Structure 1
Amino acid sequence: MPVGALSRDAAGVVGAGAVSREGIWQRLHAMGEHRGRRGRVYPLAVLAAVWLCALTAAGHDRVTAVIEWLAGTTEEERRRLRLPYDPFDGYRLPSESTIRRFLNDTDDARLARALLDPPLADPAPPKPASPEAAGEAVRAVYALDGKTSRGAKRADGRQVQLVGVADQATGRLVNQHEVDSKSNETKAFRPVLEPLDLACDLLTFDALHTVRDHLDWLVTDKKAHYLAVVKGNQPTLRAFLAALPWADVPVADTTHDHGHGRDETRTLKAATVEHAEFPHARQAVRIQRWRREKGRKPSRETVYGITDLAFEQASAGFLADAARGQWIIENRQHHVRDVTFGEDASRSRTRRGPVNLAIFRATVAHAVRAAGHRYVPAGRRACKTATAALDLHGFP
């Protein structure tokens, strides 16, 4: 039997007797293969495990760094990575071109399903007669927002734009979609949400995505709820909300924050609305922010929002927390990936490379936090060895 064939067969056997946490190997193998059998040595699952574990260690944010990380692994660590074993030469390490091709050519939707562990929608879910029949309690709250990878530019000079969805409770990214080159961020609304099970969940987003068709689809097809910000892109609706008799509506929720030289007070008023001429709208929300920063003049901002949740389904305090939680995706995803992983400075631009790198970075950030580390950089520094990274992600 040729040595190459033996190596390929061994890749599926080494470590096969172990049991992984929540089937990490099963999820990775579920990505399938887009490559032909001929000349294939390393399964996609193995290359994904290499990328994930290498990127976990601080300072390993480039393809060359992944190769250096692999070179420093022990025999036992290579066994746990399920690298192909050659009886003459030992465990075989993938080349830089192999590592790079995996990053650029792997389908990001499959990688997201394997690593982000999203709440996947049932292909044929039972549809209740009305949104209310799906249950009055909100199960979870998600935030949707876009991000530009400033260092990654396509051949036509366009920057890579990503739209992601994160769990407000944990900051965990659950799905991501790249904006088409001939489109804009609004067109990514449905593709990024379509695979997710959002029944009885609440989705928050900025004014850019406050579009009639989107909200109707979200409530009717996905059986979800929305809290939408209303600004100038919906002038008629904004004028309607601004004209409501807010002076007669009592303040329902007030929060105070102090930190980093800034004092901020937020008040929220909520009112039941009729004839809003917007899909499924049941409550209007007005949020006023008073902010005072050291060395600057005090500022005041008024933001209007609308939701399909009735007064009986969502308290003012809940809506205030959900509106503020929109920043979770910025603070715990975008900021961390830019500052800790250098996403804005990354020059990866080929095909699926930028999108897949963002998925790996989000996965590492969540794993580090789930392990009890308050700060992601400290968690990455704690994974200096490949064994620590393998243990972190639950590889047997």
Structure 2
Amino acid sequence: MLVKLGPLDAGRVADLRPYLDLVPDPRARRGRWYSLTAVLLICACAAVWGARSLDELAEWAERAPDTLLTAVGVRRHPLRWRRAPSRTTIGRVLGAVDGDALDREVGAYLADLHDASARAVSGQRRVIAVDGKALRGSARLTAARRHLCAVTHHRAVTLAQAEVGAKTNETAHFQPLLEPLDLDGALVTFDALHSVQANVAWLVETKKAHYISVIKANQPTAHRQLAALPWRDIAVQHTTASTGHDRRESRSIKTCGTADELGGIAFPYACLAIRVHRRRRQSVRRESRETV
């Protein structure tokens, strides 16, 4: 989650420390030399530099300068030297720590950092996307890949995530996932799977957020009403084109108000309909079109 922020300097380490201090330490008080926050900060610094395994975390920690060990809070030995935690210590701590609590605090740090950067740019609205992603490398012989419902924004930084079990689906995790986040005035986008009226009403009424939702056949009444709008009489308001992967794509966008006097849409707090038409051409003879 922290990788895309770049290296953690002394200032960012100081900013992250209060969040990691809230993660409960599962170890007994007796025999501790390294605080939980110090171990987690070392792992975070190593991860943003590219460490991906326990051995790489330990190797990076061994090479860490004394100034960084001081910044993360490693205690000084009575002989006045500091030593980074060993591979065994790092593995024991990471194996015992509450993963949900750690994930929640890192997500809170990233969310606050995102809010601060958005406020620094005058007039910029926070935009957050809710989508389900399969966790790479989590598949086992006895289980499929773990499925995570992630919240990201334009920098693709994960603000919150939750594991979706095999006996449930992403829809049930929509509200618990967004509950800890401050969404006042933010714009939340999601696909048709999350276009559930109860969740959308909660998002607007409780979290005070705006939304862009994809409407498909799972909302038959709203889908039929949107398709019946006078799109042929509306001029195209925006176009974009891109080329890549040996194909050319173009998109055109039309918008139409859905106020009550125009008939309204059977979907909570809907006030604007957007129609996106995509045209994809891979060769002279191969062309596909899709309208959402």
Structure 2 residue corresponding to 1:164, chosen from 150, 171, 179: 150
Quick one: which of 15, 19, 23 aligns to 1:27?
Answer: 19
**What SS does the aligned partner of 1:153 have?**
coil
Question: Is structure 2 residue 25 aligned with structure 1 residue 39?
Answer: no
* Residue in 2 that maps onto 1:63: 54
The amino acid of 1:64's aligned partner reads D
Within 2, Cα distance between the matches of 1:152 and 1:112? 17
What residue in structure 1 maps to residue 269 of structure 2? 280
Matches within 5 A, 1:224-239: 224-239=209-224
Matching of residue 289 in structure 1 with residue 278 in structure 2: yes
2:131 alignment partner, one of 145, 160, 165:
145
**8 Å contact kept, 1:138–1:201:** no
Residue 252 of structure 1 aligns with an amino acid whose one-letter code is Q
Q: TM-score, normalised by structure 1?
A: 0.61
Q: CA RMSD in A?
A: 2.7
Aligned to 1:254, the other structure's residue is in SS state strand
1:101 aligns with 2:92: yes
Q: Provide the rounded CA distance (Å) in 2 between the counterparts of 1:43 and 1:296.
A: 64
The whole-number CA distance in structure 2 between the counterparts of 1:181 and 1:99 is: 30
In structure 2, the CA distance between the partners of 1:150 and 1:295, relative to structure 1 (3 Å rule), is farther
Q: Give 2:118's aligned residue.
A: none
CA pair 110-20 structure 1, distance change in 2 beyond 3 A: farther
The 5 Å alignment of 1:1-396 reads 20-21=11-12, 23-58=15-50, 60-88=51-79, 90-116=81-107, 117-119=109-111, 139-153=125-139, 156-168=142-154, 170-273=155-258, 274-294=263-283, 297-303=286-292
Residue-by-residue CA offset, 1:288-311 (whole Å, 9 max, x unaligned):
0011235871211111xxxxxxxx
Number of matched residues?
A: 267
Contact kept? 1:252, 1:268, Cα under 8 Å: yes
- The verdict on how the C-alpha distance between 1:184 and 1:26 changes in structure 2, with shifts beyond 3 A counting, is same
Amino acid at match of 1:49: L
Q: What's the offset of the Cα at 1:38?
A: 2.5
The runs of 4+ residues in structure 1 deviating greater than 6 Å are none
Checking the alignment, whether the CA contact within 8 Å between 1:63 and 1:99 is kept in structure 2 is yes
Q: Percent identity?
A: 38
Q: Which moved more, 1:76-85 or 1:262-271?
A: 76-85
**Distance of 2:177 and 2:161 partners within structure 1:** 6
| Greater RCO (CA < 8 Å, at least 6 residues apart) | 1
Cα distance between partner residues in 1 of 2:140 and 2:269: 40
Structure 2: gaps spanning 5 or more residues: 1-9, 113-122
Q: 1:296 to 1:106 in 2, by over 3 A?
A: farther
